Amino acid sequence: MSNLLKDASILLTPTGYDNGRMNAIKPYKDLYGPELVTNGDFATNSDWTVGSSWTISGGSANCDGGTSNLDQASIVTNTKYKVTVTVSNITTGTLAVRLGGSNVDVLSLTENGTYTGYGLSNSDVFRLRSQSGFDGSVDNVSVVEDLSGDFNFERGSAATRVNAQGLVENVQIISSELVSNGDFSQIGTEEVLNGNFSQEGSELVTNGDFATDSDWSLQSSASISQNKLIVSNAAQNTTIATQSSVAPTQKPCKLQFDIVVNTGSFRILLGSSGTSTTVTESGTYTLYETSGNFGTLTLQARDGGFDGSIDNISVKEVGQDWSLGDGWTISNLGATCSDLNNNLTQDVGVTAGKVYKVTLDVTDYISGTLAIDIGGSSNQTATSLGSKTFYFTTTSTGLLRFYGGAFRGTISNI
């Protein structure tokens, strides 16, 4: 018998290499990567970014009918995934399951059951979004990469022939592609800083945990004891304690504190003209406020005076790189405008005469028109929820600006 390797002029071996595996023809159809979701069974209240209408308890994530997100940054952009979700106790609304922050849903669920969907991610965030007054529970969330393969063949030449030796050969030689960016998909580097409004500054409060009897100016009703600020029957609208040089002037800030309210109510002022929410119940609070002038942090008794204790006070600047006009505020949801026509701006340093792509998410829409302007080019507007994409040809250098006709809503991921 002749030697096959000796006699054959061409020997084809069926091999292919993909993701650390040698494939004879194609990968198995049900091939998946490892689990990417952490705490998908909601055994603990951790690992998820929890929106205002969500809570994690009793081994599930529960929504009370509001509209917000339950997020986990656990995936990679432009990757195919398999998603499995169990929903229960649905009374109203829709649960949207998203591979990314856009409004493209992998699953849109209105009935109890376990569901599986497949999709391509458009960001690194896996999102569960409550819509249309969704009231229900979610459990057993799973996201794995879909590594399933298929056999595709593309002809590699314009024409072939069988030559005298019985071999297939190319009879037309084509050079490499000479056009750059022929499909116009090329995009430059990101120009916007802090586009999702998640950036936080350093801690501005000294001794916010009251570990020592220092750094605070206390009134007669207040004392520091057992790592807390103890307040005994402070009179209505009186100052309890102050700390100077804390709040930056006219900047949005994130406030956090723990409080026990025995009687009355309490509030924090950021600067002499700053405003803050009045607190009447015990708990852990996170507030977003714009500071006033002079930078003093003031703890104040409100209606009915105040008797109780305060701990773990924190103040951090947020909204860096943005300039906020009246009516714009920053929170963990993004930048929110409340019925005013002032500007939210950032100097993005664009070049005149260039084409720019602007994308953003309108995560909450109540009314009005959001107008967008970049480098002197305008006439682009948004009047609904969802991910928006606009193209501008700039006429000058300058700002990225959001403004409009009594717009009321929230934007993020710019």
Q: What residue segments make up the domains of the chain, in order of their start?
A: 32-146, 217-317, 324-412
- Structural contact between residues 396 and 377, judged by C-beta atoms closer than 8 angstroms: no
Which residues are CB-contacts of 383 (< 8 A; sequence separation ≥ 6)? 365, 368, 369, 370
pLDDT, residue 274, reads: 65
φ and ψ at residue 5, rounded to 5 degrees: -65, -30
DSSP state of 6: H
Which residue positions in the chain have pLDDT lower than 50? 5-6, 8-14, 17, 20-22, 24-27, 151-153, 157
Nearest one of 127, 80, 79, 119 to 102, comparing CA atoms:
127
- Give residue for tokens 């260039």: 354
pLDDT, residue 173, reads: 63
pLDDT, residue 3, reads: 55
Q: What is the CATH number of domain 217-317?
A: 2.60.120.260
Partners of 87 in the β-ladder: 113, 138
pLDDT, residue 403, reads: 85
Query: Could you give the 3-state DSSP secondary structure of residue 176?
Result: coil
- Structural contact between residues 383 and 366, judged by C-beta atoms closer than 8 angstroms: no
- Give residue for tokens 């929903």: 87
Distance between CA atoms of 357 and 253, rounded to whole angstroms?
A: 30
Asked if domains 32-146 and 217-317 share a fold, the reply is yes
pLDDT, residue 159, reads: 63
32-146: in CATH 3.40.50.300: no
φ and ψ at residue 7, rounded to 5 degrees: -80, -30
Query: Could you give the 3-state DSSP secondary structure of residue 280?
Result: coil
- Give residue for tokens 């109540």: 366
Distance between CA atoms of 209 and 286, rounded to whole angstroms?
A: 16
Instruction: Give CA separation, 20 vs 17, 75, 90, 148, 196, in Å.
Output: 7, 20, 43, 14, 36
Nearest one of 154, 180, 157, 151 to 169, comparing CA atoms:
157
Tell me the per-residue pLDDT of 343-393, one tens digit each, with 9 for 90 and over: 899 999 888 989 999 999 999 999 999 999 998 887 789 999 999 999 999
Q: What is the CATH number of domain 324-412?
A: 2.60.120
